[in-house]
Structure 1
Amino acid sequence: NLPYVTPLVTADIGLVARTMSELVERYPQMAEQWQDYRQVYLTTAGSIDTYQVLTNYPVSSLEDFRGKKIAGVGLNLRYLTGLDASPVNSGISDWYNNLATGLVDGVIGWAEGSIAYRLYEVAPYLVDVRLGAVSTKVNNVNVRTLARLPEEVTNGLKETAEDYRDELAREADRRSAKSRIEFVERGGTIIALTPEQRQAWADGLPNIAGEWADDMEARGQPGHAILHEYMEIMRANDQPIVRQWDRE
């Protein structure tokens, strides 16, 4: 969940996936959670290059979110804190109908999803806030299955999982770029937020990263150290960080 609680840090899904894999190597306890499910961690992956907001009305300022019903799932609904918008917990399979019927005014989605689910028909405005990339997948292998495999196959699984992780990220970037073009071709409008608006959005959020780290610490995990290393890697890679989550 770490990338979910550090919004407005990076839209580089490849970097996020590699970083999460690297952190698991540095902090083996992050992978130990899979032992209860008889799974062995191979690598982290992701296919969402960055969360955006899709709306059925034009947006020119953050004030335009006030009083609007915006759908999302889980942690990303917290991105609405500070905007005076009303979060609505709703899965992507319901978004089209919810938008079409006026149940919601917008969704926290992403470019590829807007094309795959034809959301441009009912939410023709993509607010380019670039909330950030998230790792949404983990590649594992069953413990007993792994034990039956020869060492060269075991090593090959790890290498292949990393290759898959990196290619999936590249494909996510390709599809996102293509989807943005298609969104406009199909009548949609992409609305860019100014740096000042993105900063105001970030400043209005509670310290969700700090809350995550505190929760991890309460579970016996080095949450603050993991958060700090994640942000250090982002800084080392010159990411356009809007809020330094580990320095609060």
Structure 2
Amino acid sequence: MREIAYAKINLALHVRSRREDGYHELETLFAFVDAGDVLTARVADTDKLQQHGEFADQLGTPFGNLVTKALGVLPRSRGLDIQLEKSLPVAAGLGGGSADAGAVFRIVRESFGLPDDWRTRAAKLGADVPACVESRTCIGRGTGTELEKLAGDSLAGVHVLLVNPRVALTTGPVFAAWDGKDRGRLPTGSAREIASAGRNDLAEPAIELCPVIAEVLGALEGTAPLLTRMSGSGATCFALFESADECTAATETIAARHGEWWQMTGTLR
């Protein structure tokens, strides 16, 4: 069995308030790129995980990985031996660990079926995990776990360039640096309309903590995309393009000027 852990991006992310439990009320437009980490699994007597790839050494021990945690919350008659090819940077605003967990849920669903309360189990692993299980464009509310489908999505197939300056930026400090100001609700309409009129309220605090993000955004804006924005709490930024040629040209431009930055391309699912 082979599953791609699709990279998550936030086409818009509106932070509305701080909650008493330490979390934040937010409204976000989730979207997913048809590229990411790759999980290969086979049925085994016991659960096993081996980690490979460019960013595998940043994951620590397999026991703390969200793949292992996802396996631990899903009842099955047999174990799964999983190979994780880690191609997404860690602490990058792409939901990498959540995407990996989402891929595990899909593998288990295909092989054994999921329990009726799988959404609750997914949410306990992380706010992005429920959205990552289906990995389709949707709206997230609350902490991001209350999902709403979008009708007539107009962004599927749009080309995406992801760029990360190879700087890890953990979520907690970015949310802590948010100024607490409610700048308004998520717009309504199609995915394209919401993305165009939306914003990322974490961009400013993330740039304060990691100034190179502004440089990444500026470089992407210079490639004349449909839209460029920081994803999640950073530091990855993305640009959207109508054509593959435009996306390829932007990729080559960024690589020539900033060869040290990480890049990945794909299309929205």
Report the TM-score, using the length of structure 2 for normalisation: 0.25
Highest CA radius of gyration, 1 or 2? Answer: 1
Flag the structure with higher strand content.
2
Flag the structure with higher helix content.
1
Higher RCO (CA-CA < 8 Å; seq separation 6+): 1
Report the TM-score, using the length of structure 1 for normalisation: 0.27
